Structure formats: structure tokens, C-alpha cells
Amino acid sequence: MRDDPPTRYPLPEFRLFPREVPWDTPISDLSGWWLSSTCDEHGTVAYPLRLMAANLGWKRTLRSIVPKLKCKSCGGRPIKVELVEYAGMNDKHPGFREGRLVLIGR
């Protein structure tokens, strides 16, 4: 029988992906998901909300972050921003549907 040492950090809670945009929820509560930002000229980049929260503050909300997003290459505003469940491209798995909410764009 193996004795595992006690966990020294809190394990993340299982959360369901929201059905509506959680504009006023602290990004600490969204830290398991990603923001996907698309620039017209430079493509799409996915940002982990956990890293964004560590850099910008855990109490920040999507309402305060999304309007300030810019492309790192050209400084332009994104044409599309989405809250996504996974950052990877999941088109290789037929039938897989990830959570995805559009914040800006179509």
C-alpha cells in the first residue's frame, strides 16, 4: 500500500463551461479557460486566463480586459475574441464540441 503525501495546493474545482458570457466574473473563477483573440493580419492567439490573472490581477473581469486587447505584432484591435474551453485545435476529433462563447466579432 502506497501513502501519497497530502496535497499542498488546492485542487481546481470542476466547473461547467458557461452558457452566457460571464462579463463581471473575476477571471480567477475562469482560470481553467482561455481567451482566443484573432487579428485580421496576424491570425489567432490563445491566452490562458490563469496566466492573464497572474499578470493582471485575479479580481479583473472580462469587461475590464477585453476592450483593451491589442495585437502584439501590429497594435491593432482584434476582429474576434472568444472565451474558449480548450486552446488546441480539436478538428481532428470528430464529434468533439468544445465550449466557445464569442465576446467580440461573429
Segment 80-101 shows an average pLDDT of 74
Residue 13, all three cell numbers: 474545482
Residue 29, all three cell numbers: 473563477
The answer for residues whose C-beta is within 8 angstroms of residue 25's C-beta and 6 or more apart is 61, 62
- Label residue 105 by pLDDT band (50, 70, 90): confident
Residue 6, all three cell numbers: 497530502
- Judged against a pLDDT cut of 70, whether residue 6 lies above it is answered with no
Higher pLDDT, 42 or 4: 42
Three-state helix/strand/coil letters over 1-52: CCCCCCCCCCCCCCCCCCCCCCCCCEHHHHCCCEEEEEECCCEEEEEEHHHH
Segment 53-78 shows an average pLDDT of 94
How many Cβ atoms sit within 10 Å of the Cβ of residue 102? Answer: 12
What's phi and psi for 57, nearest 5 deg?
A: 120, 135
Q: Is 38 left (phi over 0), alpha (psi -120 to 50) or beta?
A: beta
pLDDT tens-digit readout, 7-33: 555 545 557 888 899 999 999 899 889
